[in-house]
Amino acid sequence: MPAPSSAPSSSAKSTAATAAAPGPTTSAAAAKPGRFGPVALVVSAGLSVQFGAALAVMIMPRAGAAGVVTLRLAAAAVVLLLVCRPKVRGYSRSDWTTVVVFGITMAAMNGLFYQAVDRIPLGPAVTLEVLGPLVLSVVVSRRLVNLLWAGLALAGIVLLSGHGGGGGFGSLDLAGAAFALGAGAMWAAYIVFSARTGRRFPQADGLALAMAVAAVLSLPLGIIEAGPALLVPSTLALGVGVALMSSVLPYTLELLALRRLPAPTFAILMSLEPAIAATAGFLVLDQALSTTDALAIALVIAASMGAVRSQTKRRRA
């Protein structure tokens, strides 16, 4: 699932990364040497996130969706706070408001996403979720050509919604689809507040503090749903594994990649997440997709890439 970082660009896994959350870009000349290295880092981060989500689905029968969210956010918060050791003095009320809203958005995004994948397959869930950043990209760019990409994404969603078998949207739980769309809306908000937090806090300090806020907010819901199951050693260990795969490891890989990779290229690579999610769902959870489902996901991916490329051309112009 989505796990963008606030430093120094949103790990947006989104088409809006270049439009709403500018990060550390490199010049074309600097990006050419060793290009495969940062690309491999980004792809590895995407694999880690989505296979971490597949692992989370596997432990939901033990702890429930809310319990998994609590385990993931709490473990990630502990790791980030220990590594970053963020300062808590010297910030204004506006700074703290930004980081708290960022944490609220993070908690909501994770909570809604895991409620979705508890009900529908991983591939369609991420496909619906990525519509949030795509819509944000279209709105921010205000370019007519991006309506074409929005239409292409809509065609993909229509294919999913009209298909009644093989894991298509038409055969899925409507509540699960609604949760995925809600997670997409929170993802778009997450990108905006990730960028704002990154500008106000050094390094990954803002991310660590926001993660702590998200963990505190998710804790009551996790306790209510899972109770003592959260403290079962095997469940706890798996929850830590989800946190490492879906948060800590991809943050690190993406941060390293962004130092050598232009932000537009990064965003295009992140547009592949629905395909990675579908692959993880198939290999780990045995969630097979039909040809129609695969075509629908491909249309959304193409729309995401097109939106990023059009935004990049506009900036160059």
Chain position carrying tokens 């009644």: 164
Per-residue confidence (pLDDT) for residue 30, from 0 to 100? 39
How far apart are the C-alpha atoms of 254 and 252, rounded to whole Å?
6
Q: Over 70: is that where the pLDDT of 255 sits?
A: no
pTM for the structure as a whole: 0.72
Per-residue confidence (pLDDT) for residue 268, from 0 to 100? 63
Among the ranges given (30-34, 142-146, 310-314), the one the predictor scored with the smallest mean pLDDT: 30-34
Per-residue confidence (pLDDT) for residue 182, from 0 to 100? 93
**pLDDT greater at residue 102 or residue 266:** 102
Q: Tokens at residue 68, please?
A: 């998994």
165 φ/ψ angles, rounded to the nearest 5 degrees: -140, 175
How far apart are the C-alpha atoms of 47 and 262, rounded to whole Å?
20
Q: Over 70: is that where the pLDDT of 8 sits?
A: no
**pLDDT greater at residue 141 or residue 223:** 223
Q: What confidence category does residue 52 fall into, taking pLDDT thresholds of 50, 70 and 90?
A: confident
Chain position carrying tokens 């780990």: 284
Q: What confidence category does residue 34 fall into, taking pLDDT thresholds of 50, 70 and 90?
A: very low
How far apart are the C-alpha atoms of 236 and 230, rounded to whole Å?
6
Burial 70-104 (b: 16+ CB within 10 A, else e): bbbbbbbbbbbbeebebeeeebeeebeebbbbbbb
Q: Which pLDDT tens digit goes with each residue over 210-231?
A: 999 999 999 999 999 888 888 8
